[in-house]
Structure 1
Amino acid sequence: MNAAAFGFAVIAALANMAGAAAVTSRRRWSVRSLETMVALSAGFMIAVALADVLPEAIEQGGRRAAVVAVIGFLLVHLTQHVFARHFHFGEETHHVTPVVSASALVGLLLHTFVDGVAIASGFAVSRELGVLLSTAIFLHKLPEGLAISSLFLASGLGRARALGAAALLGAATLVGVLVAESTKLVGDVGLALSGGVTLYVAACNLVPEFQSKRGWQLPTAFFAGSALYFAARALIGGH
């Protein structure tokens, strides 16, 4: 097992728990701070998916990798916006039913499992790509944990279950690393799958959370996220 991949997956899982703790401990994030974090994450994730992950996957697997990336993109839409229609990144302020919160959890479990596959696949190519992918995943883990825990609280399921839901998301990421490495899913298939999922989460989940908001702060954060990716890539070196 790649110790670095598992270590970064643990850090990502802890970010899920930190987001949940921020909600269940009644410490409220300012809306603007959360939106800025989401915008920064979106910029970074889109850059890493389009500039590194998908080109590497297609170089390794050709047309098959491109098809797998599309499948990954569609699977996230199916689980998050067909099975779980009431889901968004951010704190839930309206009452929802337990069925809605459970369906959102199921959809996110697929996504967080693929997060683990992505981390393992990145490190299988190079340490540099693994670090970049892990950073992209870490950046959206905090709002993800915040979103699922607030959904559970809004549905009246209590703090313990809200924290448990976030813990399941973190565990799914660790399982994704272990399954990817034990089944050799870390090749072009795993990389392409993670590229499609990363692109979907950034462009379809995160960007809509802030794109209609006025002002320069959020667009600036979005472009800064992409700039941060290129700066990080230059700092740690190409793969």
Structure 2
Amino acid sequence: MTMDADVVLVFLAAMTTAVTTGLGALPFVFVKRIDRWRLSIANAVAAGLMLGASYNLIDEGADIALDRVLIGILLGLAAILAANRLLRRRDTADIADLHGRSATRALLILGVMTAHSFAEGIGVGVSFAGTPELGAFITTAIAIHNIPEGLAICLVLIPRGTSIWKASLWSIFTSLPQPLMAVPAFLFVQSFEPFLPIGLGIAAGAMIWMVFSELIPDATENASGDAVGTTVVLAIVALWAFQLVLFGTW
């Protein structure tokens, strides 16, 4: 296979992982009504999925360089704090059919998940620079892993008024950095690989902050602490069980 063909293969593989994120909206095709209690539980589910994903990112990065992951976590925390402060100081433009505080939250969630996708795109490119078999495995793992991440995004957007198809498109949008980063990482693997654990840490730090600053407080507004805590734990277990059944690991 020529280098040009390899580049096309890497781009298509990473684009596939991006598109699968939109599948997270499918459960809402069957859910017609979301009351305040269900909205709180939806926030708890999103929190659990994001916490589980954050652990995955930290675990993956620690296998490469734990010190760079820790640096990335601190950078992610600083970035999300700065973004949150900036958004709260100014009127937030409407986004995803949302307004005011809901729009601010949507921007933060979309920003966090988009940052996350940069690291995943590098992961796809680096894996294909190893062997085609490794690249195929990593692509499949990320593609399936993206479905619950898309669900986490939709759980924040749809209950607040965003249409299902728009939420699905926004989910895909957050994963577009994957094909954009996969090809450069494939072509210049030695240059990109050192930044992978930092990128994973940045995404994890921002996601963990988002869970405890935004999603958990919202979840406890209309649901008991017991219900929210139970839902968060079950969501984490469901995510890891899903990955364990498919791949034998998370």
- TM-score normalised by L of structure 2: 0.64
Q: Are 1:8 and 2:17 an aligned pair?
A: yes
Helix, strand or coil: the match of 2:74? helix
Q: Distance in 1 between matches of 2:35 and 2:115?
A: 29
Distance change in 2, residues 1:48/1:36 (3 Å) = same
Listed one character per residue, the Cα deviations across residues 187-214 of structure 1 (whole Å, up to 9, x for unaligned) are 3233222222332333333222223532
5 Å matches for 1:180-199?
Answer: 180-184=181-185, 187-199=196-208
Q: Are 1:37 and 2:42 an aligned pair?
A: yes
Residue 47 of structure 1 aligns with which residue? 52
Residue 117 of structure 2 aligns with which residue? 116
Letter aligned with residue 224 of structure 2 = R
* Conservation of the 8 A alpha-carbon contact between 2:120 and 2:178: yes
Q: Distance in 1 between matches of 2:215 and 2:233?
A: 14
Q: Distance in 2 between matches of 1:67 and 1:82?
A: 21
* Conservation of the 8 A alpha-carbon contact between 1:122 and 1:129: no
Q: Distance in 1 between matches of 2:86 and 2:27?
A: 26
- Aligned-residue offset at 1:102: 7.2
Q: Alignment partner for residue 82 of structure 1, among 80, 85, 93?
A: 85
Larger Rg: 2
* Conservation of the 8 A alpha-carbon contact between 2:145 and 2:243: no
Distance change in 2, residues 1:4/1:145 (3 Å) = farther
Q: Distance in 2 between matches of 1:32 and 1:102?
A: 20
Letter aligned with residue 248 of structure 2 = G
Q: Distance in 2 between matches of 1:132 and 1:11?
A: 7
Q: Are 1:226 and 2:236 an aligned pair?
A: yes
Letter aligned with residue 64 of structure 2 = Q
Residue 146 of structure 1 aligns with which residue? 158
Listed one character per residue, the Cα deviations across residues 129-169 of structure 1 (whole Å, up to 9, x for unaligned) are 5257424422311133337866xxxxxxxx9xxx87x5874
Kindly report the root-mean-square deviation, in angstroms, between the aligned alpha carbons of the 2 structures: 4.0
- Aligned-residue offset at 1:29: 2.0
Residue 65 of structure 1 aligns with which residue? 69
Q: Distance in 2 between matches of 1:138 and 1:16?
A: 7
Distance change in 2, residues 1:168/1:224 (3 Å) = closer
- TM-score normalised by L of structure 1: 0.67
Helix, strand or coil: the match of 2:115? helix
Deviates more, 1:120-129 or 1:189-198: 120-129
* Conservation of the 8 A alpha-carbon contact between 2:11 and 2:179: no
Aligned length: 214
- Aligned-residue offset at 1:67: 0.6
Q: Distance in 2 between matches of 1:109 and 1:44?
A: 15
Listed one character per residue, the Cα deviations across residues 202-229 of structure 1 (whole Å, up to 9, x for unaligned) are 3333222223532643322111112213
Distance change in 2, residues 1:82/1:56 (3 Å) = same
Helix, strand or coil: the match of 2:76? helix
